[in-house]
Chain A
Amino acid sequence: EADIYQTPRYLVIGTGKKITLECSQTMGHDKMYWYQQDPGMELHLIHYSYGVNSTEKGDLSSESTVSRIRTEHFPLTLESARPSHTSQYLCASSLGEQYFGPGTRLTVT
C-alpha cells in the first residue's frame, strides 16, 4: 500500500481566493507529480519534481505554482482560483511506477 496523502479531499471556494493543495508521501521518493483530471477525461500533467529544489512545468501549468523544499512534501498553489479550475487534482510519487494519492476535488464558485 502506497503512503501518499492529499489534503483537503474536497474543497469549495470562491473565485479569486488563493488556495494551496497539500501532498505528502512517506516513501522517500524523489520524483513527485501533480495531475489535473476532469470526470471521464484524461490526466493532464501540471507540474513535476525530480527532487528537492527541482520543479518543472508540465503540459497544463498556467496559473499554478509548486515548491519542493522537503522530499516528502509537494504543495500546489493557485494564486487566484477561477471556475475553470474546478477539477480533480491528483498527486503522485515514484521510484519506478507512480503511486497516486486519493485526490482533491476542487470546486470554484
Chain B
Amino acid sequence: GQNIDQPTEMTATEGAIVQINCTYQTSGFNGLFWYQQHAGEAPTFLSYNVLDGLEEKGRFSSFLSRSKGYSYLLLKELQMKDSASYLCAAPDRGSTLGRLYFGRGTQLTVWP
C-alpha cells in the first residue's frame, strides 16, 4: 500500500476554517486525491494534486508537498453540510492511475 495516514476525527464550528492532514509513502508517487463521503453515501471526488502547491476550488483547497509526503485539505467558511468523512487516497506506486489506496478517513463534525 501507500501507508496513508490521516487523523480519525476532527471537530470545528460553523464559519471556521479546518485543515485535514494526510501523509503518504513518497516512493513512486503518482498524485494524491481527496474525497468527501457523507454517512451512508458513496464517496465523491474533491481534488487531485500531482504538483507541489495549493489548488483552490471555492471553499475547499488542497495542498501538496511531494518532498515531505504531505498533503492537506483546507475547508473554509464551514457549513453544517460539511460534516462528513474526508478520505485521502493515492494511486499504486508507479501505476498509470489504476487502483487507489484509501486512508481510513477523517470524520469531520461541524457544530453550530
Q: Which of A40-78 contact B (CB under 8 A)?
A: 40-43, 45, 48, 50, 58
**B45/A98 in contact, CB under 8 A:** yes
Say what secondary structure dominates the interface of chain B.
Answer: loop
Which of chain B's residues have a CB closer than 8 A to the CB of A33?
99
Cα-based distance from A71 to B61 in the complex (angstroms): 34
The one of B42, B98, B105 in contact with A102, judged by C-beta atoms closer than 8 angstroms, is B42
Does B87 interact with chain A (Cβ within 8 Å)? yes
**B100/A98 in contact, CB under 8 A:** yes
Which of chain A's residues have a CB closer than 8 A to the CB of B100?
98
Given contacts A96-B48, A97-B33, contact A45 B43 (CB under 8 A): no
Q: Which residues of B contact A (CB under 8 A)?
A: 33, 39-45, 48, 85, 87, 97-100, 102-105, 107
**B33/A40 in contact, CB under 8 A:** no
Given contacts A90-B42, A96-B48, A100-B44, contact A58 B99 (CB under 8 A): yes
Which of chain A's residues have a CB closer than 8 A to the CB of B42?
90, 100-103
Cα-based distance from A94 to B91 in the complex (angstroms): 12
Q: Which residues of A contact B (CB under 8 A)?
A: 31, 33, 39-43, 45, 48, 50, 58, 90, 94, 96-103
**B98/A43 in contact, CB under 8 A:** no
**B103/A42 in contact, CB under 8 A:** yes
Which of chain B's residues have a CB closer than 8 A to the CB of A94?
97
Give the nearest-CB partner of A58 in chain B.
B99
Given contacts A42-B102, A42-B104, A101-B42, contact A96 B97 (CB under 8 A): yes
Which of chain B's residues have a CB closer than 8 A to the CB of A31?
98
Which of chain B's residues have a CB closer than 8 A to the CB of A96?
48, 97
**B105/A50 in contact, CB under 8 A:** no
Cα-based distance from A94 to B40 in the complex (angstroms): 22
